Amino acid sequence: MDLRAETATGLVAKLATGALTAEALMQATLERIAAENPKVNAIVGLRPADALMDEARRADAVAPAARGPLHGLPIAVKDLVMVKGILSTMGSPAFADHVPDRDDLLAARLRAAGAILIGKTNTPEFGLGSHSFNPVYGATVNPYDPARAAGGSSGGAAAALATGMLALADGSDMMGSLRNPAAWCNVYGFRPTWGVVPSEPVGDLFLHPLSTDGPMARSPEDIALLLGVLARPHPLQPAPRVLPPFDLRASVEGRRIGWLGDWGGAYGVEDGILSLCEDALATFTSLGVTVEPVAPPFEAAKIWQSWLTLRHFAVAARLGVLYDTNPDALKPEAIWEVEAGRALSGTDIQAASAIRSDWHRAAAALFDRYDALVLPSAQVWPFPAVWRYPEIVAGRAMDTYHRWMEVVVPVSLLGLPALAMPAGFGAEGVGKGLPMGMQIFGPRGADTGILQLGQTYHGATDWPGRVPPG
């Protein structure tokens, strides 16, 4: 079985009809992992093969009426999610031996849908940074060039999809963690409207609406399959949202897209990325979609300042206890975030929120004219895997460990739905032969419309069909 050529939607259909058994699919998955994972280091914490085969056989014995929408499908869960019985480290030596006795909400929903949880996908330590390396498992590398990074923090998920080890994967996105690795691994990653996929209902539920879980796959149709499992309200969440079914069978002709490029020069972008995205946008034009360049709708420096403050605030809240009890367990970037967050005043946070509110109003006015907006998914091509992060982008020095991902911040700050879509491969220079993508995003609640645009584009391009070398 050529798993790289299969879709998740196709696999679950075959499992449902009996054309494919969970046992056969698990065997093929384990063989694929054995062949591909040593090259990219994407799947970590893999459960023993005999236990997985036993679980697959039990899945085959379940009556059809009792099966969920993902019944029998192998899935590895991002290593920021706690999964019962599976090593869950968050990439940190402090949790290198941690095996939870309960599932987080996301893992529980996957199990309830019938998925077989086989292990984890690699991530940077605590998910900080868009390069998936950590002291527990090492680095995940790019399937299209193993000398280069796969992105992050959902880099393990993206690389596993690109190599056919998984047909579906979960990811999370605070600062492009679904979008950057999708671009660099030639797959799709969807950041839903904040609140569509509920977060773990513990701790503070109101103050930190920056990060969200979401699906990754090799097509928007498969994205919608997983989103349908994850996007259900939770009674302990303060702002649940119920969306209509994710029906992607709609015409996109007549819709309008605004192209923001490099935000009027505010973002340093490596050569070849903007032109590649513009070529990809021409596909929409051929499909009857109007694509127009758009002037920067808001000052980029203000968006960045608001983001920096609110991210410090959020990370300090999440990692503060570990900082107090075991600071040696934190990498320098995490310590910087916590200390900067603790230095903030209430006035600082209010000022950042006021800027966010102003950006929301400006974006809302733009969405009166356009159904969606587009930016590159990343400002740089996949960089050498031995780097921690790029220190210079397009001749500009980066003043933080994540400034090179500034292009994703306008979406994250407002909690907008965004689909990272493959845009093709570089033709020359540092990006030659490497994947790149663009992010298409819309107003809150426009998740289905964004996925419809993505599915139509995918039907005309099928970039993930261009498989990694070998």
Q: Indicate which residues carry an active-site annotation.
A: 78, 153, 177
Helix (H, G, I), strand (E, B) or coil at 73: coil
Beta bridge partners of 77: 120
**Cis peptide bond upstream of 153, omega within 30:** yes
Helix (H, G, I), strand (E, B) or coil at 55: helix
Cα 89 to its chain centre, rounded Å, is 19
458, HSE (Cβ side, Cα atoms, 13 Å): 26
Closest among 401, 393, 383, 387 to 331, alpha carbons compared: 401
Beta 116-121 vs 74-78: how paired, if at all?
A: parallel
Residue 40, sorted as left (phi over 0), alpha (psi -120 to 50) or beta, turns out to be alpha
Instruction: Report the distance separating Cα 237 and Cα 199, nearest Å.
Output: 8
Helices (H), 41-144: 49-60, 105-112
Closest among 274, 256, 272 to 264, alpha carbons compared: 274
Instruction: Report the distance separating Cα 395 and Cα 210, nearest Å.
Output: 29
Closest among 441, 435, 404, 422 to 143, alpha carbons compared: 435
Neighbours of 45 (CB within 10 A): 20
Would you state the structure tokens that stand for residue 445, as one six-digit string?
Answer: 């609640």
Helix (H, G, I), strand (E, B) or coil at 213: strand
78, HSE (Cβ side, Cα atoms, 13 Å): 32
DSSP at 64: G
Under 8 Å between Cβ of 87 and 45: yes
Instruction: Report the distance separating Cα 296 and Cα 406, nearest Å.
Output: 14
Instruction: Report the distance separating Cα 54 and Cα 345, nearest Å.
Output: 55
Under 8 Å between Cβ of 334 and 362: no
